[in-house]
Amino acid sequence: MIARSTVTLQGRQVPFTPGETILDVAKREGVEIPTLCHDPRLDPAGACRTCLVEVSGQRRLMPACATKCGEGDEITAESERVERHRKTLLGLYLTDHPFSRDEAERGPPNELLDMAERYAAPTDWGTLDNKRAARHGDRNPYIDFDPELCISCARCTRYCDEVEGVTAITLAGRGSETTITTVDNLSLMDTTCEMCGGCIDTCPTGAMAEKLPLTHGLKKERELTKVRTTCNFCGVGCQLDLNVDPEGHDGRGRVVKVTSPEPGTTTNDGNLCVKGRFAYEFIHHEDRLTTPLIRGDDGELHQASWEEALRVAAEGLMGVRDRHGADALAFVSSSRCTMEENYLVQKISRAALGTNNVHQCAAT
């Protein structure tokens, strides 16, 4: 028999699997523990200190994100001490961070401000001048870093290193001057950066933000509607969220940016590549084809309905089969097709038209 391991969380006995952290168990049990530097895709850093809780046998408060449960541990996530800790810590953060939403929210919700509100952190402790250096004039087209909003949680640098394996950005300097930068403060364009934008996705305050919505003065993320879809740039099938401004495009809704779903909820685990995250302008581009076109006898393309277009294509294909046999046809599907689409391509090829000449361009 496998002995069940348990800890006491807020006075309740709850099970855990050896290796699980206090945060893992608290999440499952619905006990709220705030975090800022935590991202389930990264090794815990325990640096932001928001998640400290009391653990029996430990004199010091322990970081829930990095502390593994031990058999019989008594964990207190709500107590006078923990409450004072959260309030004073967040109060201190706010001395080093703008706290009007206008200044401090560049798009995505600012998790620090939300948390400070939730725990009623003091806002009257005075303000410190920011000492974190910026990389002014980085000419890369996508990623902007605002040191005023940076809380040095190192999620971006750890993501770049641990998930992407790219290490284009680093913590630099030390103390209150600690900032995020590249080798010799170069533009991201001149580094190993692949512009995946994962730094933007993981940043809890919006210090790392996408340039386009900033320069276009677009609405904050709270005012946008998210529509989950599958990226159609390749066949991997990454899930992404189109962020739609419902009032845009004459009230029909306009896609103004792309964000990734919560890590752990989709197969791409919140990761996207440069295309999925940033190449969405084509959606509303004026050159985009929005109806089928059929080339007429005059040699020009003419707008057509789907029924017409499909009929013309079917007639052409069946004409070839009738004149030259089914094996005169071959089907090559695009690497941007999903698995379901590939399935349908081989179906039309084999079942509907009777040839095994079917291929997928990514197969070679």
Partner 1 sequence: MSKEDQQHARGHLPDQLREAGGLTEGVARDLSRKTGLPEAEIYGVASFFHLLADPNTKLRVCTGLSCQMAGADEVLAAAKAAGLPVEGASCLAACDRPPAVLKERRVLPAVGLAQIAAAKGDWNAVHAPGDSADAAWAGAVGPERDDPEHLALNLHGAPDRSASAFAAAQAAGVDALFDQLETSGLQGRGGAGFPAHIKWRAVHGQAETTRYVVLNADEAEPATFKDREILLRRPDRVLEGLAIAAWAVGAKDVWLYLRGEFEIPLQAIEAEIERAHAEQRFGDIRFHTHSGQGAYICGEETALLEALEGKRGMPRLRPPYPVEAGLWGKPTLVHNVETIACVPAIVERGAEWFRALGRTEAGSKLYCVSGHVQRPGVYEAPLGITLDELVEMAGGYVGELKAFSPGGASSGFLPASKRNVPMDYKSLADAGSMLGSAGVVVLNGTVSMRWAVQHQLRFFEDESCGQCAPCRIGTYYLRESLDKSAGREPGTMAEGSPKGGGEKERLTHVADVAWQMNEGSICGLGQAAPLPLTTALKHFPDEFAAS
Interacting residue ranges for partner 1, rule: CB under 8 A? 44, 46-49, 52, 60-61, 63, 66, 81, 84-85, 88-89, 91-93, 95-96, 122, 125-126, 128, 131, 151-152, 157, 161, 167-178, 181-184, 191-192
Question: Is the four-CA dihedral 314, 319, 325, 330 of positive or negative sign?
Answer: negative
Token match 């934008």: residue? 197
Task: Indicate the residue among 126 and 217 with the shorter CB distance to partner 1.
Answer: 126
Nearest approach in angstroms of CB 328 to partner 1 is 52
Nearest approach in angstroms of CB 13 to partner 1 is 24
Nearest approach in angstroms of CB 46 to partner 1 is 5
Residue 157: CB atoms within 10 Å: 21
Which parts of 216-291 fold into alpha helices (H)?
274-278
Nearest approach in angstroms of CB 212 to partner 1 is 25
Residue 24 CA, distance from chain mean position? 21
Task: Indicate the residue among 33 and 258 with the shorter CB distance to partner 1.
Answer: 33
Nearest approach in angstroms of CB 136 to partner 1 is 16
Beta strands in 56-193 (DSSP E): 62-63, 74-76, 143-145, 170-172, 179-181
User: Which token pair is 74?
Assistant: 């008594």
Task: Indicate the residue among 86 and 257 with the shorter CB distance to partner 1.
Answer: 86
Residue 17 CA, distance from chain mean position? 28
Nearest approach in angstroms of CB 142 to partner 1 is 18
Contacts of 46 (CB under 8 A, 6+ apart): 37, 63, 65, 66
Task: Indicate the residue among 178 and 357 with the shorter CB distance to partner 1.
Answer: 178
- The answer to whether 107 touches 213, Cβ cutoff 8 Å, is yes
Contacts of 186 (CB under 8 A, 6+ apart): none
Residue 145: CB atoms within 10 Å: 24
Closest by CA to 188, choosing from 220, 216, 151, 160, is: 160
Nearest approach in angstroms of CB 116 to partner 1 is 13
Task: Indicate the residue among 69 and 231 with the shorter CB distance to partner 1.
Answer: 69
Nearest approach in angstroms of CB 15 to partner 1 is 22
Task: Indicate the residue among 171 and 283 with the shorter CB distance to partner 1.
Answer: 171
DSSP track, 199-210: HHHH-SSSSEEE
How far, in Å, CA of 207 to CA of 107, rounded? 10
Nearest approach in angstroms of CB 73 to partner 1 is 13
Task: Indicate the residue among 7 and 89 with the shorter CB distance to partner 1.
Answer: 89
Task: Indicate the residue among 92 and 214 with the shorter CB distance to partner 1.
Answer: 92
- The answer to whether 197 touches 207, Cβ cutoff 8 Å, is no
How far, in Å, CA of 359 to CA of 364, rounded? 9
Task: Indicate the residue among 53 and 337 with the shorter CB distance to partner 1.
Answer: 53
Task: Indicate the residue among 66 and 312 with the shorter CB distance to partner 1.
Answer: 66
Nearest approach in angstroms of CB 29 to partner 1 is 23
Contacts of 120 (CB under 8 A, 6+ apart): 87
CA atoms within 13 A on the CB side of 12: 11
